[in-house]
Every structure is written in structure tokens, then in C-alpha cells.
Structure 1
Amino acid sequence: MKQSLFRTVAIAGALFSASLGAFAQSYPTKTVTIVAPFSPGGSADGIARVIARELG
């Protein structure tokens, strides 16, 4: 019982400490360029425009 609890706490601590680096990033740090490889007016272009609007 104690060994199982210790193992669970150790795994949770390792996962938590591994994820701390993700919080330090500030994305994006420069302009993001989206390339839609198809002609304007198609579905890929529409989706790219919606995503670009959400990114700011």
C-alpha cells in the first residue's frame, strides 16, 4: 500500500516537473506565416483565414 502510494506520488511529481518548461514559453515571439498551398477561395484558404483571424 505505502509502496504503491509512493510510486504514484513520484510519477505525478516527475510529470509535473517535466511540464514546467512548457509554461516558460511565450508563443509566438515573432510573426507567424500561414501558407495555404491551394488556390484562393477554396476550403483550405477559408480554413487558413479563420485560423489567421484567431491568431490575431
Structure 2
Amino acid sequence: MREHQINRIMRRYEELRADPGEWANYRTEARLTDNAAGDGLPDTRDEYPEFKPSP
């Protein structure tokens, strides 16, 4: 079942890549949501300064 789902997902990505306009739309939307994933969360470097590399 899981393999079937993964194959369907991969086929859909192939379909998207075959259409430059649709692929561009997908990539634009993906960038928006990727950047929103950590909104409001503290930066790890600020939260754990002891792990921050020295200059």
C-alpha cells in the first residue's frame, strides 16, 4: 500500500515537471510554505548560544 502511494506521488511530480508553468507555480508555492514553517520559533543559535561557533 505504502509503495503504491509513493509511486503515485512520484508520478504526479513527473507530471508537474513536464509542464513548465505548473512546475513554476508549484515551486513558488513550496517556497512560501517552506519559509513559513518556522515562523514565530526562536532561532537555534539564539536559544543555545553555547553551541554557536566562535568567529
Q: Which one has a larger percent helix, Structure 1 or Structure 2?
A: 2
TM-score per shorter chain, which class?
Answer: 0.3 to 0.5
- Structure 1 length normalisation: TM-score? 0.37
Which one has the largest radius of gyration?
Answer: 1
